[in-house]
Amino acid sequence: MTVRSRFAPSPTGLLHIGGVRTALFSWLYARRHHGVFILRIEDTDRERSTEEATQVILDGMEWLGLSHDEGPFYQTRRMDRYAEVIQQFLAAGHAYRCYCTKEELETMRARQMAAKQNPRYDGTCRARTTPRAGVDPVVRFRNPLEGSVVVEDVIHGNVAFDNAQLDDLIIARSDGSPTYNFCVVVDDMDMKVTHVIRGDDHLNNTPRQINMLRALGATPPVYAHVPMILGADGAKLSKRHGAVSVLQYREEGYLPEALLNYLVRLGWSHGDREVFTRAEMTELFDIRDVNKAASAFNPDKLLWLNQQHIMRATPELLARYLKPQLAALGIVVDDDARLAGVARALQERAKTLKEMAQNGLFFFTELQGYDEKAAKKNLTAEAVRPLTLVLEKLQALTDWRAAAIHDIVNLAAAQLQLGLGKIAQPIRVAVTGTSVSPPIDVTLENLGRETTLARLQRALDYASRH
RNA sequence: GCUCCCAUCGUCUAGAGGCCUAGGACGGAGCCCUCUCAAGGCUUAAACCGGGGUUCGAAUCCCCGUGGGAGCGCCA
């Protein structure tokens, strides 16, 4: 049997970290078992669904490389099919028309709550055979009255629900439009979904869905209800936690693989391993090993993982990602090889690509003066001699490579009997404007001969005056 | 209120009755390396929610509390 899993977000809010984690687990499961991954957009709520949210889902999934094999399917385009099944249910007696008004239902609920009972539809219209004038009926599923439903969940084990606790849920509104739980059931059946991996906030919906599936004569899929992700403060993830949309992580310079790596480790682990490539995740992840408890989102660890992935990435790949980050800062770089060189120099010292772009700014733009503190400390009269000597030696250098530059700086230090810091720091401030950069030889190599010499000369002038 | 779910360092987790003096990771503290910043290495503080059982033995199994979460919509 081919595994068929799906991710079925509703575009009523922007896709966030929690949704992505569910998508990831579902995707990993399909990939691991060489199955099919389906993307379905649950947009039956036309009021709240937005085009933007749909686009974020599509773009986000693509950015993360969570590719789907089928879909995206849109529920709004399957209305005829839902209507058909509703008729089928009605004809078979699995559903009935209910003429209770919203007001009546509300009073009933209030009464039940007051009597400390589980608020549920009392079945008034179950046996009704005639319409009620002036009321557009809804359609309700005739849930079994007795017995229990056992959800065989891969993560939670067997969870039993008494049918007596469930009620006859509405499957079609009075305007005829189908509702969520019903659409899910029809879709999962039609799309031959074998594994439903979703947030455990849906665990309570599952017995109803199973009952409908059975009424349809379908075999319920395997369920895996994964725990939710909480905000860093342990509270439910919401807009308050900053991460509005996954795409924000792209903007902030996170590598898709790093985000996925972080997410997969929430609720799952493999020995003492922390860093996983996408391929390793696919190979090692097992939905059965997923925890039951919710976990809090930890931005620091995500940042650390991002750095780990940046360090392991090829400079060429980083260069590709760096381009839009630099563009955001108003800089366009055409020289891919040079950009890769810069990325190589910076990849051990940036937690995000955004940070990397900022740190690498001096390679591509004119210096906007020196950092005050750095200049005050390093571009002094004391620095004139070492800077002069290094400038002379560099002017004579034809083989502009890190190794040769390294030798020159060391030689100059030895000649002047100065510690390396006394010579490297002034150079650093001279060419970068700040006291922080990659190793000085690597920095100069990537900066290029002309720029280096010009900046050294300029710093020398500055130092002479201070 | 009713139903369901969950519970190990601040956080993510290892732990499927003795291997636990509870391991790893992020973050914190300290040290080393060092031309800066990083990276890396080493050291260190830090947890089994509480109470009852079961057992020779419990973080692990059972029960009851407590705390957190979800559902109970003509929302998804």
What is the ipTM for the molecules in this complex? 0.94
Q: Please give the Cα distance from A441 to A412 (Å, whole number).
A: 13
Q: How far is the CA of A23 from the C1' of B5 (A)?
A: 21
Q: Please give the Cα distance from A443 to A365 (Å, whole number).
A: 14
Q: Which residue(s) pair with A7 in the sheet?
A: A39
Please tell me whether any atom of strand B lies within 7 Å of the Cβ of A300.
yes
Task: State the DSSP code for A380.
Answer: S
Q: Please give the Cα distance from A167 to A179 (Å, whole number).
A: 15
- The tens place of each residue's pLDDT in chain A, 466 residues long, gives 899 999 999 998 888 898 999 999 999 999 999 999 999 999 988 888 889 999 999 999 999 999 999 989 999 999 999 999 999 999 999 999 999 988 888 888 888 877 777 788 888 899 888 888 888 999 999 999 989 999 999 999 999 999 988 999 999 999 999 999 999 999 999 999 999 999 999 999 999 999 999 999 999 999 999 999 988 777 777 655 555 689 999 999 999 999 999 999 999 999 999 999 999 999 999 999 999 999 999 999 999 999 999 999 999 999 999 999 999 999 999 999 999 999 999 999 999 999 999 999 999 999 888 998 998 899 888 888 999 999 999 999 988 999 999 999 999 999 998 889 999 999 999 999 999 999 999 999 999 999 999 999 999 888 788 7
Q: Which nucleotide is nearest to A229 (CA to C1')?
A: B69
* Residue of A4, A32, A5 whose CA lies nearest to A279: A32
Q: How far is CA A294 from the centre of its chain?
A: 17
Q: Pairing mode, if any, of strands A222-226 and A229-230?
A: unpaired
Q: Which of residues 8-37 of A touch strand B (CB under 7 A)?
A: 10, 12
Task: State the DSSP code for A205.
Answer: G
Residue at A386: amino acid letter:
P
Task: State the DSSP code for A128.
Answer: -
Q: Which nucleotide is nearest to A233 (CA to C1')?
A: B11
Please tell me whether any atom of strand B lies within 7 Å of the Cβ of A274.
yes
What's the token pair of residue A409? Answer: 């700086």
* Residue of A10, A24, A22 whose CA lies nearest to A56: A10
Q: Which nucleotide is nearest to A112 (CA to C1')?
A: B1
Q: Please give the Cα distance from A180 to A44 (Å, whole number).
A: 7
Predicted TM-score of the model (pTM): 0.93
- Cβ atoms of A96 and A86 within 8 Å: the answer is no
Q: Which of residues 351-390 of A touch strand B (CB under 7 A)?
A: none
